[in-house]
Amino acid sequence: MDSIAPSFVVNPSELADCLSALRASTPLIQCITNTVVTNFTANVLLAAGASPAMADLPGEAGDFAAIASATLVNLGTPYAEQRTGAFEAVSAANRAGTPWVLDPVAIGALKLRTEMAFKLRDLTPTVIRGNASEILVLADSGTGGRGVDATDSVGTAASHARNLALKSGAVIAVSGPQDLVTDGTRSVLVHGGSELLTQVTGGGCALGAICAAFIAVHDDAFIATVAAHAFYSAAAERAAGISNGPGSFAVNFIDALHQIDAQELKNKAVLSS
């Protein structure tokens, strides 16, 4: 892996504090996301302790972004109405100070969403989360993966992610066997998780929603994003240990997100820098 300098050490107690804050406040998370994963995303947020709302209609999305605790914009199936709703929500979120996450699903080969992702990148997202191929495209350094699958490694994307963070002002999260989180200055790798997450549709998309839930309750978006990833990985690892395949894993994963508390997150988080 390329150098992910400078290194940074996160105190596990800070991660635990983020989860405690989430559980204490039940943040209202506006999800503008794709039709494949709306159900799973909503259940992931509910299990974690947040309140999801899929308000993406033009004429409603802006009003909702102003009252939401955080907003997710995921480009998995950007139909015309949702495209309009997404920009309406982002404008309102920026005016109201609502933090928001951009998840540029499958950009590169697909024109419409790629153009949309570049416009959104320049509208000051708080966090950008994607796989290595998606992040490379947004960093003007790649042509995209294969469908929703990355064809580049997290290591290859590391220096580009750091540059993208500095240029966009967003925290960048690159998902893979280990997840890289960087704000351009601070960078950490989150270990753990399970390959089974890649065999459940929405495994990545719902992580974007969890990032939104964590940045809603903690002012330092870098720490919040690391906490979101550590929480997600800990739940995946717990679920994988008792599952027979991707079907039972998805069920156990939702249970695990509900069961893990701040103390367990503090003990289970494995980070390196």
Q: Which is nearer to its own copies, 52 or 125 (CB)?
A: 52
* Site membership for its own copies, residue 56 (CB under 8 A): yes
32 binding its own copies? (CB under 8 A):
no
Closest CA to 221 of 135, 99, 52: 99
Buried b (16+ CB within 10 A) or exposed e, 52-73: bbbbbbbeebbebbbebbbbbb
The crossing angle, in degrees rounded to 10, of helices 12-25 and 221-240 is 90
Q: Measured from the CB of residue 26, what is the shortest distance to its own copies in angstroms?
A: 8
Q: Is 81 in the site for its own copies (CB under 8 A)?
A: yes
- Identify which of residues 2 and 63 has a Cβ nearer to its own copies in the complex: 63
Residues 49 and 42 sit within 8 Å (Cβ to Cβ): no
Q: Which is nearer to its own copies, 36 or 270 (CB)?
A: 36
Q: Counting contacts by CB under 8 A, is residue 248 touching its own copies?
A: yes
Q: Which of 9, 97, 219, 244 binds its own copies (CB under 8 A)?
A: 244
Q: Counting Cβ atoms within 10 Å, is residue 80 exposed (0-12), middle (13-18) or buried (19+)?
A: exposed
- Contacting residue, 25, 46, 118, 264, with its own copies by CB under 8 A: 46
Q: In sequence order, what E strands does the chain have? A: 28-32, 51-53, 70-74, 100-103, 127-131, 171-175, 179-182, 187-190, 271-272
Find how far residue 269's CA is from the centre of its chain. Answer: 17
Under the binding rule (CB under 8 A), the answer on residue 51 touching its own copies is yes
Residues 113-132 that bind its own copies (CB under 8 A): 113
Which residue among 8, 15, 52, 126 contacts its own copies (CB under 8 A)? Answer: 52
Q: What is the contact surface with its own copies in residues (CB under 8 A)?
A: 28, 34-40, 42-43, 46-47, 51-57, 59-60, 63-64, 67, 76-81, 106, 109-113, 146-149, 199-202, 244-248, 250-259
